[in-house]
Structure 1
């Protein structure tokens, strides 16, 4: 069977203050700002992409910082926690680092035989770091966090569901995931070869409140596919199964289709190419404001209205 879904591609979240968001993810978590662009549907709002040195699929966390918007609420029908992967030997380093920045965290805990800690960003987005030695992706040495301790990219995302059966059917069918573990109402699935960056957890949580979208809440989760051709196969399969899947959207750095899974969470399938180096060299990623072609005639106005960003 042809592999259509490789694993995670990116997670996109809403945020409030732009500079606080940049400070948190570049200075505290040590991610690289790999692309500074705008929301293609609302160009008065940034779209900020963070990841590893090159912005590889499976490392990319993106934000729409809307300014003064109310905080969201975690609950069912939402991706509630995005987990990053880091080496086992870095556990003490990360606990000390969070303490240094006065960021409260919970744990260490154990889940599926791995140790993890849990905390939130300034807007309440749920973050975990899972400590394991299975992740062969290199860490990025940004001059603040040693590469040996740096996060490698995503490990897992957690979907909270009231009735997970239909979501599980989607994941194990069209989305080509395999069940690899179950623990206290949490079902873990892997895509492709598995391992960190290729896991998705479905948490059966019927007693949770319903999620509310706002600052700190995840807008959508994107899955990786290799080519435009594999994306079109997935699109056709989704449509034939009754999903209201969108036409292909050109996001400059990948092509996307969107649909809602049965629990209401917005899913995206994104192509790996062309990648973030299509309009600036790897050495300069994230340093200049990049606009889609349709907004270039409005560049002066857009730049004047967007807040200044400083990467420390």
Structure 2
């Protein structure tokens, strides 16, 4: 039964692997903080991500999910608390791949050129770079379009290029900020399967931001449920569905149905009771 208390793996501390990503007491405020100003985005966030885990951050808009990704990547620093990645202070580099909601492809460069661009610092040899890029282009099913330019690709194909570019450096950590939010529903489902297959090949850490309950359950080992701004971790839930999940109808599983109902009820309650929400105080059960 799913309860309000955080869910755990059941491993004793001595048996559990060392965390790859660790946040303790992290807070972040944006804007002018003089005289109590600014917007408190995150408040006292604790988060542990184990090696080889796929973890999704799920919660209402504005709860700081993307801010956490940016701090883990070292793009911004917390105002309070500590963050360690592989035991060190976070900083951008080839050990971390970042997939954005927008594709962020270089428009004047081919598919191959976009993927090779991520390898310039780590693979000096041109032939080796091309071989690595071609391998990941093939893995995302775009070999026939290696010489095509972004303007010639559909939205789903552009996102596959972005995924190949992030994976090509073979990072230990993959950060994904709503990567499928801007593509159509059918392509989104195919891309979810593509991501699961590619992640299974390397089992790098994946920290995934989404607003979709179904997507979080489908992809994740754990789901971190966050509350409205200022964002905080309310609960960590173990998904507990067998992998690989593209080999059976995971959405028909009782566990999937249970989690979906529970998470949707919790998020709906969070949104309807949040004074900052546009839906604050609405009775969604009332007749129109």
Q: TM-score, normalised by structure 2?
A: 0.32
Q: Which has the larger radius of gyration?
A: 2
| Structure with the largest fraction of helix | 2
| Structure with the largest fraction of strand | 1
Q: TM-score, normalised by structure 1?
A: 0.30
